[in-house]
Amino acid sequence: MDQGALGVTARSAPGRLLAVLAAFDHTHPALSLTDISRRAGLTLTTAHRLVSALTEWGALERDPSGAYHVGLRLWEVAALAPRGLALRQVALPFLEDLYEATHENVQLAVRDGSEVVYTEWLSGRSAVGVHIRVGARWPLHVTGVGLALLAHGDIGLQEAYCSAPLASYTAHTITDAVRLRRVLAEVRRCGVAVSSRQVTEDALSVAAPVRGPGGAVTAAVSVVVPYADAQVPVLAPAVRLAARGISRALGWQPEGRPG
């Protein structure tokens, strides 16, 4: 089966449907029926039947060239996700304020397993090489938002993550479990996470956790700036303020404050 199917089993009827949808990703936003069949690991006949059903429902759309794209019906369903568009709507005013204060790349992200998923991104004036787009995924340990989310995850998550191999992208990527544990402890101590040149040699990110109504960390917000000009002591308070504003808008109350 092609890796584009993301390992979804196609043995059951639901599995086959999911395999068709999983055939699409950011590098394959438009696919022919043959491509879908190959990437989903399905026969052409089965792929045609499932694609037709998904197109009729609106999950897929077919353009004039005959290629298929993800349909707007899925966007409508995704809008109901509390960690997706609903979170984005609450957070956007604070992200815009953070952008106005810094004029740098501003990001909002949530955790999905061992990865961070970006749900919003405001592009800044910097020419820094930001490899981010809405829906993009990166391992937790290589980004500021990922470190913020991992640092405030449960102990079981942290231990399992630190025990697994740590992917490396530059000479500065954290690949040692002992060092990662120290970094996570520092994130909890100071309230912000700093990821320096872990994904690209020219970028540094500063992130802070976003809390939900019960106080649990549900997301993280960050700014990404050129490493050469980074002023973490200046950026950290602005990022903390944005994260705190989003948290309050989500219903979080600081300890000792009445509801």
Terminal CA-to-CA distance of the chain, rounded, Å? 52
Structure token pair of residue 239: 């990022």
Query: DSSP assignment, residue 126?
Result: -
DSSP of 43-100: -HHHHHHHHHHHHHHTSEEE-TTS-EEE-HHHHHHHTT-TTTHHHHHHHHHHHHHHHH
Residues in the chain where the model's pLDDT stays below 50: 1-10, 258-259
Alpha-carbon gap, residue 233 to 64, rounded angstroms: 53
Query: What is the per-residue pLDDT across 209-229, written as a single tens digit (0 to 9) for each?
Result: 999 988 999 999 999 999 988
pLDDT of residue 8: 43
Calculate what percentage of the chain has a pLDDT beyond 70: 87
At residue 23, the 3 state secondary structure works out as coil
C-beta neighbour count of 63 within 10 angstroms = 9
This prediction's pTM: 0.72
pLDDT of residue 126: 66
Alpha-carbon gap, residue 224 to 245, rounded angstroms: 19
pLDDT of residue 259: 43
Alpha-carbon gap, residue 201 to 136, rounded angstroms: 19
Are the CB atoms for 138 and 168 separated by under 8 Å? no
pLDDT of residue 131: 60
Residues in the chain: 259
Q: Write down all domains in the chain, each with its CATH number in brackets.
A: 2-78 (1.10.10.10), 82-249 (3.30.450.40)
